[in-house]
Amino acid sequence: MDPQEFRAQAHKMVDFIADYYRDVESLPVRSQVTPGYLRSSLPSNAPEEPQSFDTVLDDVKSMIVPGVTHWQNPNFFGFFPSNSSTAGMLGEFLSGGFNVDGSEWATSPAATELEMLVLNWLGKLLNLPDEFLFNRSGNGGGVIHASASEAVLVALLAARGRAISENKAKGLEEQEILSKLLVYTSDQTHPCLHKACVIVGLPKSNLVILPTLATDDCALSLSILKSAVQDSLAKGFIPFFLGATVGTTSSSAIDPLPALADIAKEYGMWFHVDAAYAGNACICPEFRHFLNGVENAHSFNLSANKWLLTNIDCSILWLKFLNLLFFIHTISFQLKTSSIQSRVVNFKDWQVAQGRRFRQVRIILFPLTWDTLFRSLKLWFVMRLYGASGLRSHIRTHINHAKHFEVLVREDSRFEV
């Protein structure tokens, strides 16, 4: 495809997307198709000869659109807000255009440096402590993952690495340590922590899920946690990870971070805070108090794609102690390591995958992804095209809608809040 041809096709694609956004409210939110509908409509083999762009776009309109659940329809109220924006989409488009692999600083310096910059911007909007930001001390910083699940997995891996090394220093064997490591969390925590435990090879019984009460707003109970930890210590286990949430998925529970941080510190546990969707609200000063205590966490994750107008995927993990990422191999099997390598951030060491984008190709090797994307571009576009004030106003509008909805629910005797 020559540049002229690409230009013409891209214009048609932009027209299609612009029309889609114009009309999306008139489409049924849920697709009306039945399972297997596409198999009976499209050929079962790839075309031998190239087809025209118009033919493909026609099929998108007639066959793909009916099978889409329209998350961008303003009447979509499922799961969590989907909130993409045209600003994010433009960044995504550019990322696809550059199509670079930012796994190491040297593979595309702008990809690494923009990610560092933009995550510092967001970290400052959230009023995160300096230890979570890229600064001269070089100990902290953020990295964009494909999902909150991956961010939690990486935090758990770092914590596990720390626990193994600390306990080896006490003379224990690795296998023994692994069988004794315990993770604590509440029954409201997103199942991604369960999945992360499975992936890192912790026995199912080593995840301690603590009960919560509706009367405590479903928050983690300090007394239940403390007695569970003491009980396990008495039995010779090693409590090593405490997972708290700000805004649990099903009940919006806010765990009491400051007191939990104290308990984690007392027992030498890694303290992780998952604020995947609700944390976004904390860019507004009036909601920031929900994150109080995060300053004492080791790691913290938030998904800008859940409430901050950035297209899926944009899940950020901030860590205070990068040296604790020694769990991920830092060998470079593609590049000859130059002297510059040791002085820069190489994001491949902060994640499961080696590659990372400026490009939109993903090969899924369950449960890990090989993902090469320049995700910071879309967040950068969003933050610049909206400005902090625009983002705050977006959050406040949603919260006002929620407050209005609460009034309606309270007025209706069939429901309770």
User: Which of 118, 178, 276, 395 touches ligand PLP by CB under 6 A?
Assistant: 276
Q: Does 299 bind ligand PLP (CB under 6 A)?
A: no
With respect to ligand PLP, which residue has the nearer C-beta, 249 or 346? 249
With respect to ligand PLP, which residue has the nearer C-beta, 145 or 180? 145
User: How is the beta sheet containing 238-245 ordered, strand by strand?
Assistant: 141-145, 315-319, 299-303, 270-274, 238-245, 181-186, 207-210
Q: Does 277 bind ligand PLP (CB under 6 A)?
A: yes
Q: Tell which positions 128-157 bind ligand PLP, by CB under 6 A.
A: 147-149
Distance separating alpha carbons of residues 313 and 96, to the nearest angstrom: 14
Distance separating alpha carbons of residues 375 and 299, to the nearest angstrom: 20
Q: Residue 312 CB, nearest distance to ligand PLP (Å)?
A: 8
With respect to ligand PLP, which residue has the nearer C-beta, 149 or 346? 149
With respect to ligand PLP, which residue has the nearer C-beta, 180 or 357? 357
Burial 150-176 (b: 16+ CB within 10 A, else e): bbbbbbbbbbbbbbbeebeeeeeeeee
User: Which of 115, 255, 274, 371 touches ligand PLP by CB under 6 A?
Assistant: 274
With respect to ligand PLP, which residue has the nearer C-beta, 103 or 245? 245
Q: Does 255 bind ligand PLP (CB under 6 A)?
A: no
Q: What is the per-residue DSSP string for 189-201?
A: S-THHHHHHHHHT
Q: Tell which positions 29-48 bind ligand PLP, by CB under 6 A.
A: none
Q: Residue 151 CB, nearest distance to ligand PLP (Å)?
A: 8
The first and second tokens of residue 131, run together, are 């230890």
Q: Does 76 bind ligand PLP (CB under 6 A)?
A: no
Q: Residue 375 CB, nearest distance to ligand PLP (Å)?
A: 13
Distance separating alpha carbons of residues 231 and 95, to the nearest angstrom: 51
Q: With CB under 6 A as the rule, give the number of residues binding ligand PLP.
A: 15
Instruction: Look up residue 208 and give its amino acid.
Output: V
Q: Tell which positions 180-239 bind ligand PLP, by CB under 6 A.
A: 190, 192
Distance separating alpha carbons of residues 229 and 20, to the nearest angstrom: 53
Distance separating alpha carbons of residues 315 and 141, to the nearest angstrom: 14
Q: Residue 179 CB, nearest distance to ligand PLP (Å)?
A: 27
Q: Residue 254 CB, nearest distance to ligand PLP (Å)?
A: 11
SS3 label, residue 183: strand
Q: Tell which positions 371-410 bind ligand PLP, by CB under 6 A.
A: none
Q: Residue 150 CB, nearest distance to ligand PLP (Å)?
A: 7
Q: Does 112 bind ligand PLP (CB under 6 A)?
A: no
Q: Does 83 bind ligand PLP (CB under 6 A)?
A: no
Q: Does 356 bind ligand PLP (CB under 6 A)?
A: no
With respect to ligand PLP, which residue has the nearer C-beta, 180 or 272? 272
Q: Residue 342 CB, nearest distance to ligand PLP (Å)?
A: 32
With respect to ligand PLP, which residue has the nearer C-beta, 264 or 275? 275
Q: Residue 292 CB, nearest distance to ligand PLP (Å)?
A: 18
Q: Residue 29 CB, nearest distance to ligand PLP (Å)?
A: 18
Distance separating alpha carbons of residues 254 and 279, to the nearest angstrom: 10
Evaluate the CA torsion angle 226, 232, 236, 240 in order and state its sign: negative
Rg (CA), the chain: 23
With respect to ligand PLP, which residue has the nearer C-beta, 142 or 267? 142
C-alpha to C-alpha distances, 133 to 125, 137, 309, 378, 407, nearest whole angstrom = 12, 10, 22, 20, 39
Q: Does 303 bind ligand PLP (CB under 6 A)?
A: yes
- In 170-267, which residue ranges form alpha helices assigned H by DSSP? 174-180, 192-200, 222-234, 257-266
Work out the widest C-alpha separation in the chain, in whole angstroms: 72
Burial 114-124 (b: 16+ CB within 10 A, else e): bbbebbbbbbe
Q: Tell which positions 315-354 bind ligand PLP, by CB under 6 A.
A: 315
The first and second tokens of residue 30, run together, are 């849920």
User: Which of 53, 80, 121, 326 touches ligand PLP by CB under 6 A?
Assistant: 80
The first and second tokens of residue 46, run together, are 């790839």
Reported as type and span, the H/E element at residue 301 is strand 299-303
Q: Fill in the DSSP letter of residue 227.
A: H
- Which spans of this chain sit near ligand PLP (rule: CB under 6 A)? 80, 147-149, 190, 192, 245, 247-249, 274, 276-277, 303, 315
